[in-house]
Amino acid sequence: MISRYHLKCHGCSEVFVARLGVEPTRGTRFYLPCPYCGLSIRGSMSGIEFQNRRVDIECQVVSGSAPESPDTRVVTVNPFVPSLYGADSYTPNGAFPTMTLLQALGDDAFMKFESERHAALEASRVLWPKVRMLFQYYLQGNTKMFTRIAQQQLGLTWEPSASHERTTVAYQAMGTATVVITGATGATSSNIIGRFSRKHSAAIKRHRDHLLTFRRRGQSSADLERDVFTELNRFVEHHESWEMGLLERFFRPSDKSAFEELVLYRDEFSLVRDLYQQGFELACKCLWPLIAAQNSVKRGNPDDFGEVHPDRVPEKQRPKNLDKFDKLANAYKIAYVAQVPGWEPIESLLNNRRRNTIGHATAHHDLQTGRVVSDENPSGMTYLEFLSEVLGVFEALSTLAQVLRASRVASSPDFDSSE
């Protein structure tokens, strides 16, 4: 829905018309530029139901019946779809959200995008609170309440009496929600987890050192497990701030040009960058089970890295065991994982080059251009591209949480590897 507002800029005092795209949201911060002086005017909107919808703009809202002259300037802003700043009608690309996406994606891709997007929003609003409650009881060790929530809220039909069974149920519930929130298009988690599971299952049956390593490391991973859950919960709580990153996964190579002159007028960079950076660091701490499984399958020992190393890792820094691997720079950890066939997408989800750009001390959201820039990279990236990187980190962290689950299951006192 597009609402029209007559606004008076608190800088130049000129009155202009703002065509503002409004959607159901728990809370969205946006900005709009004054079409006369270019001053960025901040605003926010909230309300899932139409009758509870609230829009606040940090300038004077003139009466809706204020007369318009042919010279009155118009600005079009939609915080949910990249929009065309100077559009004053519904016809140009970027002037009307539905038509913008239809023109850029085509009918089929548009329908699929809308389906995945709304499923993700529904999962974050309805399913995740149940998962969060279940996982909190799991972390507390409250068996009674864990079982009640699993059965009453999530439809579990049996009672997980063993510790490793509760771990499995908790992570399966988490995975069910995060897969929907990530979306199916362009997702790589199932392939990464599937390949890891096959390697881990084979290694745990054939090599006792592999099982012992996962038990030992799983016991010391309780704090990491809590941190990963806490961060995933932060991602989901602020899902509406980065969910439009899904749009980039529906672009064909020729589609991106349609968005070059459009801007996603969101004003949440600091919040979302914090999610990105913390999620990136935690994901890299969860890479070791992948490497341990690969080492065990290939060389019979999780600590044996053999002679095949990524070219980019300096010879003196090439690890001799998992403890040395833990101390590597994140870029080198990612390189080791990405050299394994089937796990190459990790390097795309955890793009260290992009991480350096986004995480640079001078990185900021230039509200005049709508791009994320830094001294290191003055051209930067569009805000939509930035959000796609955030989605990638969420997918990586939620995927690696399922990988970390293997060590937590193995460290359960009642776990039997012969089961």
Tens-place pLDDT, residues 92-151? 565 566 677 887 788 899 999 999 999 999 999 999 999 999 999 999 999 999 999 999
pTM of the model: 0.94
Identify the three-state secondary structure at position 7: strand
Residue 225 reports pLDDT greater than 80: yes
Q: State pLDDT tens for residues 279-325.
A: 999 999 999 999 999 999 999 999 999 998 999 999 999 999 999 99
For 371, other C-beta atoms within 10 Å of its C-beta total 20
* Residue among 240, 222, 215, 232 nearest 125 (CA): 240
User: Encoding tokens for residue 216?
Assistant: 């030992």
Angle at CA of residue 44, ends 20 and 394, nearest 5°? 100
DSSP state of 19: E
Mean pLDDT of 199-205: 94
User: Does the pLDDT at position 419 exceed 60?
Assistant: no
**Residue 92 has what pLDDT?**
57
Q: Say which residue the tokens 């050299």 belong to.
A: 339
302-317 as b/e, with b when 16 or more CB fall inside 10 Å? bbebeeebeeebeeee
Which residues pair with residue 279 across a beta bridge?
none
For the chain, the average pLDDT equals 91
Amino acid code (one letter) for 9: C
Higher per-residue pLDDT: 80 or 143:
143
Tokens 């970027």 sit on residue: 94
CA atoms within 13 A of residue 5's CA, in its CB half-sphere: 22
What SS3 state is found at 83?
strand
Angstrom CA distances, 144 to 135, 137, 160, 214, 224, stand at 13, 9, 10, 28, 24
